[in-house]
Chain A
């Protein structure tokens, strides 16, 4: 018990003094996850709008596949990316394994289905409101998609935040493809796993505080966005 108490005290100290390792790892975590978030949103949001606006033959199948992919175990995604990027794999020549880029790729694969599914839910609702009006105004498909993305931006931000929350707390996949290399690919979650394994509770707890704070912030933002949306503002 006193070990834990001491660990807690040290952890708080590490956070207030902005310990160098702690800051470095936090920044890397943010860098990897925000990059993944931008890439994933750029793919998932237009896809979600397209699925809402356009009736094509495979639409239902695509939606079903997206929903199924949401349940993909991250560590399996890590394995697939690992095999693809490993020296003998199809993309081995790029030499990306154990780099932050590999971690970004894995996170993108994990959160694209999540963001696309959530975004599609709300854009489909918006489209059923707008359908007659936009058809009547003789809009092109591009204009329809742009209009939905713009007028649905609050809901889309919520979808993106959910993606961020999932990616920043993910450990299995990035451990596999990033390798948790000090000063290179070590991020919050993998560092916590390592420090805990070593029995270094102070550092593990300090990293945990930062992670919890980030997760709380994201969820508060989601909650707040949801409320303003219900209030009819945007």
Chain B
């Protein structure tokens, strides 16, 4: 059963009378790569976490097109700061497979194949906490992709990386996208947004300010705030 579209209606995050996200109305369709942009503190991380089900809604609703339990299994998340388990690189990567009930040998074999793909094979036996920032991000990405999720959320996966590491990550992402994974990713890097986006969600002040196809957003943004943001001006 298809996961998408995802329908979000009047969704808010908040606590004790304070609200920092929403109301958000959004329908995420089945195809393409969605890039989430917006200034610091605008709510990119919160929006992604909300879609993934990591945040409890204070109001509104969020519905996948299949039962929730199934939807939870078919998505993955790459966090802004990668979370490394206190295990070897190989065991980090094999972990999601083991959760799915695969036996140790098979899981490790598949993990090794993925390590090759992300150029981390020489580090297989090392402790994951000893990896560099870029290597951690690649490992986190491979760990998120290893169970072939239908939807992958990424929260600024290249924020702390140099040009080369960024290109490596983008190549992996494009590969995943080609083989059918729906990407929803936030970024600060407008070049990256232009390279990857099929559609853009522009977040401002905890709301979806603009949601449109990438060409249209970059050529003719609908709102003055979006054009100001694209020019690099400060947007409040």
Contact = CB atoms under 8 A, between A and B. Distances in A.
Nearest to A129: B83
**By CB atoms of chain A within 10 A, which of B72, B79, B83, B127 has the most?**
B83
A87 B95 CA distance: 53
Interface string A3-44: 000000000000000000000000000000000000000000
A136 B130 contact: no
A156 B131 CA distance: 25
B66 interface: no
Contacts of A197: none
Interface string B105-137: 000000000000000000000010110000000
A137 B143 CA distance: 10
B86 A151 contact: yes
B77 interface: yes
A135 B99 contact: no
B9 to A, nearest CB: 23
B80 to A, nearest CB: 10
Q: How large is the interface on A (under 10, 10 to 19, 20 to 34, 35 or more residues)?
A: 10 to 19
Contact of B99 (A126, A129, A130, A137): A137
A90 interface: no
B127 A232 contact: yes
A136 B87 contact: no
Interface residues of B, number: 17
B65 to A, nearest CB: 18
B11 interface: no
Contact of B73 (A135, A138, A151): A138
A136 B77 CA distance: 7
A133 B83 contact: yes
B79 A234 contact: no
B99 A143 contact: yes
B83 A132 contact: yes
B99 A151 contact: no
A141 to B, nearest CB: 13
- Output the residue of A126, A133, A232 with the most chain B CB within 10 A: A133
Interface string A142-160: 0100010001100000000
Nearest to A232: B129
Interface string A212-234: 00000000000000000000111
Interface of B: 52, 54, 72-73, 76-77, 79, 83, 85-87, 95-96, 99, 127, 129-130
- In the A-B complex, the 3 residue pairs with the closest CB atoms: A133-B83, A136-B77, A138-B72
Given A136-B54, A234-B86, 15 more contacts: A132-B54, A132-B79, A133-B79, A133-B83, A133-B85, A135-B54, A136-B52, A136-B76, A136-B77, A137-B96, A143-B99, A152-B86, A232-B129, A233-B127, A234-B127
